Structure 1
Amino acid sequence: MKPFTLLYFILSVVLYLVALPLLVYLSFKQKYKESIPARFFLFNNPRFKSGNGVWFHVCSLGEARALKPILELLNDYEIKITTITHTGQAEAKRYNAEVRYLPYEMFLQFWVKKQDVLVVLEAEFWYMLFSVMRAKGTRIILLNARISEKSVKKYLQFAWFYEKLLSNVEVIYAQSEADKNRFIALGAKNIEVIGNIKLAGKISKTKDYKKPNAELIVAGSTHEGEEESVLKSFVEYKKQSDAKLAVVPRHPERFEAVYELMKKYAAKSSLTLSRFSQDKEFKADMVLVDVMGELNNIYAISDIVILGGAFREDVGGHNPLEPAHFGCKIITGKHFFHQKELFRYVHHVQYVEPDEIHKALMASKELPPSMVEEKIDLKPVVERIIKNPNLPL
């Protein structure tokens, strides 16, 4: 092990010991009860069975979902996937692949096996993962790589570190020219701009629901603090329009808290409220969608989407391609830095502050539906992945 890598490993062990009480505590939280034991204690998280094939590492739900068109082109190859979050894990398990959680860095030297190719999505820059896999002779590719405008200064402060990390990478497929320039500033080599691979994904619904006889507004992928702004705006909008509201929280562990908040607003405004899990309909004035995997099905019958994740400064927005595909009129916040490249391809979006949502709802009556322009060709990426003649079928 190289001196710097050894020092980094020792530091990771020290940080692990310091954080151990917190990790044990968080293991009992609903949100982390699967991911933290798997990642930090290797509970139910064995090594991959074989030491060859294509290994994809993603963080969460969106990145796991973005793999679909690539995996379809690699249908005959042995595929492995690691994730960070439990939502990403659930999505990855839909594929014909070995799926694991990525262990904490100090375990990687003993846990990983050499693979033919490691493909890492977006900004999952783990030093031990890169250095250990490269030392084992694994080719490393960064796909859909990005460095957000908000975080670039932090990266540049440690440019010497990221130059070491990125020196292990064979090629970087960046989302945009801006991302390419940021990687160059970090000392990276061999960078190609291909756009966002999420543009290649096939967007479809899995079920048909009955559209209500009223305008349907969906607050999709909302986070704490965003629902209240949406509910205030909807109550005002409801006074002037025949509309119904469906709220779809991003994280399932928040379903109960959001339902209690909706109950408060329903009671104050004499509006009816229901849970989607109970009747799968939109008869009530407000509906909490307390099930997973239904967002596209609901977008398909919606008129307006208030897209969450961008009304707070710390989230960075969510994927606008899905509501745009179904022709919904999109309202979102101004903090969409993680999705900036995707929003570049989506037209007719209103970007507003939380207290401007009601105004945006009123303006939607005169605006055209959102639409997506541009596609991406994944064939060059797949050709690079499978260029190794020893890659097993």
Structure 2
Amino acid sequence: MMGLRARLALATYRWLGVAAYPVITAALAVRSARGKEERSRRSERYGYASAPRPEGPLVWVHAASVGETNAMVPLIREIGRSGITVLLTTGTVTSARFAQSRMGPSVIHQYVPLDLKPALDRFLDYWQPDLALFAESEIWPMTIMALSERHIPQILVNARMSDRSYRRWSRFSSMSSALFENLALVIAQSELDSTRYQELGALPVLVSGNLKAESGLPEADAAVLERLRNQIGDRPTWAAISTFDGEEIAAANVHKLLSSRLDLVTIIVPRHPERADEIEEALNNAGMVVARRSRGDSIMPDTTVYLGDTIGEMSLYLQLTEIAFVGRSLTASGGQNPLEPAMMGCAILSGGHVGNFRDSYQMLARNGSARMVRDTEMLAKGVYYLLTNEPARHAMIDAGLQTVHQMRGALSKTMRGLDPYINPLTMKARLMPRNPSQENSGK
């Protein structure tokens, strides 16, 4: 039962949201002006639907950003094969575009409603989901309580709990228990994640492994890949991917340190492509000659940096190299998913701040497929070593591919955990009359 302190905390959270409504509205307007919200679809954030709700069972899947969305793709496809409609919500423009490029019309996409009761009521009244699945660490108090009030099962899949989140929730243990006890099931990535969720009040909890080991990247355009490879020619390459502020300049400094010995091309793929203009300006000021993918620029003999400022083309950039530094780990913290470059055949370098992906990095490092660096100078030495030592580079690549293979199996374990919730919806879908448009949608 919810304690008094938890009730007061949730009531305070709810009323703070009501009080902040005008501020939130203004903030969304600012984000729209900056391209961080789709102006034409901003009403979806307030729970207004922009697509029809099909008849039959519907599962609401929420994934915050591109990485979480990509991890959910195999699970969404498995659910869709059962004849169940999937409503996918995401929180960013980049993840929305990625979702539409990966899933197409077979999945309904909407922006996730604000964690405010009016928006949630409007959203749930319209879509009436039979089941809600949230990816990784998406914990929104009002959303959890609204689903609970409607007796809609809600499950956290591919769940992880970072050190920072665990410390924060532990300080508010009564509130965490009051929230997490509403989850019908938590399917965790690791034993550590499982333990943390149980300590915070979630039951039952299963361990599946990481769904990100199941989800490959969209295939690169073969013609574009061949054209870029021809433009690069025999010049050695390395990539800094999923970079955050400061890491692009670090990559430029690595290039400068190595340019006296190697005529290399440095590929930089920022985590947020909307930063491309400011990144290009900073790189130009640092003396780099930049070609941008979004402009269709060619890689010329004097090009030093190829800026991958597009969405959904990570496989293209990774196939242009065999060495990948994974960002948000050197000048920022938390890390980004290292499994994608591993499965694409890259030796991995990373800064040490990778708490959000600790288990993946531990397995990769243990098998010899990832190396950690402390600073720019150490990164430069690592890049140079791998560029000039083909046996060592290929040994890391082979170890990475083997590690990803060992980590697979999370999808089947997740589906087994979801069976009690999915099977009744599958039977309901099979009993529903189907129209030709549904049959042609691939569901």
User: What TM-score, normalized to structure 2?
Assistant: 0.80
1:248 aligns with 2:260: no
Counterparts of 1:35 and 1:251 in 2: how far apart (Å)?
Answer: 21
Q: Which amino acid aligns with 1:233?
A: V
2:390 maps to 1:369: no
Q: 2-side partners of 1:117 and 1:128: how far apart?
A: 17
Seen in structure 2, the aligned counterparts of structure 1 residues 195 and 341 have a Cα distance that, compared at 3 Å, is same
Letter in 2 for 1:322: E
The equivalent position to 1:379 in structure 2, one of 390, 412, 416, is 412
Are residue 344 (structure 1) and residue 373 (structure 2) matched? no
| Cα distance in 2 between the residues matched to 1:391 and 1:22 | 42
The answer to whether residue 338 in structure 2 is matched with residue 320 in structure 1 is: yes
Is residue 2:304 matched to residue 1:304? no
* 2:424 counterpart SS class: coil
Moved more, 174-183 or 5-14: 5-14
1:280–1:327 CA distance, 2 compared to 1 (3 A): farther
Q: Which stretch of structure 1 is more off in the superposition, 15-24 or 129-138?
A: 15-24
1:65 aligns with 2:70: yes
1:100 match: 110
Greater RCO, 1 or 2 (C-alpha within 8 Å, sep 6+): 2
**Cα distance between partner residues in 2 of 1:22 and 1:207:** 37
For 1:112, the equivalent position in structure 2 comes to 124
Q: 2:142 aligns with which of 128, 131, 142?
A: 128
Contact 1:139 1:170 in 2 (8 A): yes
Supply the AA of the counterpart residue of 2:273. Answer: P
2:292 equivalent among 275, 284, 301: 275
Whole-angstrom CA distance in 2 between matches of 1:304 and 1:184: 39
Give yes or no for contact 1:34–1:86 (8 Å, CA) kept in 2: no
Between the aligned partners of 1:264 and 1:47, the Cα distance in structure 2 is 49
**Alpha-carbon offset, residue 142 of structure 1:** 0.8
Structure 1 unaligned segments of length 5 or more: list them. none
Query: Does 2:199 match 1:180?
Result: no
Equivalent position amino acid for 2:143 in 1: L
Q: Counterpart of 1:293 in 2: which secondary structure? A: coil
Farther off after superposition, 157-166 or 84-93 = 84-93
Instruction: Provide closer, same or farther for how the CA distance between residues 197 and 391 of structure 1 changes in structure 2, counting only shifts above 3 A.
Output: farther
Instruction: Let me know the Cα RMSD of the aligned residues.
Output: 2.6
1:188 is paired with a residue whose SS is coil
Q: Does the CA contact (< 8 Å) of 1:69 and 1:202 recur in 2?
A: no
Could you tell me how far 1:199 is from its partner in structure 2?
1.0
User: Which of these residues, 290, 309, 313, is aligned with residue 294 of structure 1?
Assistant: 313
> Which residue identity is paired with 1:196?
N
The answer to whether the Cα contact below 8 Å between 2:56 and 2:84 also exists between their aligned partners in 1 is no
How far has the Cα of 1:162 moved from its partner? 1.4
Q: Quick one: which amino acid aligns to residue 66 of structure 1?
A: A
Which amino acid letter does the alignment assign opposite residue 331 of structure 2? R
Q: How many residues align?
A: 387
Q: Which residue of 2 aligns with 1:189?
A: 203
Verify the 8 A CA contact 2:235 2:263 in the aligned structure 1. Answer: yes
CA distance in 2, matches of 1:189, 1:326: 36
Deviation at 1:319, TM superposition (A): 1.4
Distance 1:159 1:50 in 2: 40
Matches within 5 A, 1:212-251: 212=232, 213-251=234-272
Q: CA deviation at 1:230?
A: 0.9
Give the whole-Å Cα distance in 2 for the aligned partners of 1:391 and 1:145: 28
* Structure 2 residue matching 1:142: 3-state secondary structure: strand
CA distance in 2, matches of 1:204, 1:116: 30
Change (3 A) 1:202 1:62: same
**CA separation of 1:277/1:85 partners in 2, compared to 1, >3 Å: closer, same or farther?**
closer
Counterpart amino acid of residue 187 in structure 1: G
Read off the aligned partner of 2:120 and give its amino acid letter: L
| Structure-1 separation of matches of 2:297 and 2:322 | 18
Deviation at 1:259, TM superposition (A): 1.2
How much has 1:93 moved relative to structure 2? 2.2
SS at match of 2:121: helix
- Whether contact under 8 Å (2:28, 2:37) holds in the other structure is no
Task: Return closer, same or farther for 1:248/1:380 CA change in 2, 3 Å cut-off.
Answer: closer
**Paired AA for residue 205 in structure 2:** I
SS at match of 1:387: helix
The 1:336–1:36 alpha-carbon spacing in structure 2 relative to 1, beyond 3 Å, is farther
- Partners of 1:47 and 1:120 in 2: CA distance: 22
Q: Percent identity?
A: 24
Distance 2:326 2:17 in 1: 37
Higher helix share: 2
User: Which string of whole-angstrom CA distances, capped at 9 and with x for unpartnered residues, describes residues 216-252 of structure 1?
Assistant: 1111121111111110111111111232111112212
Residue 280 of structure 1 and its aligned partner are, at CA, apart by: 6.0
Query: 1:81 is matched with which residue?
Result: 88
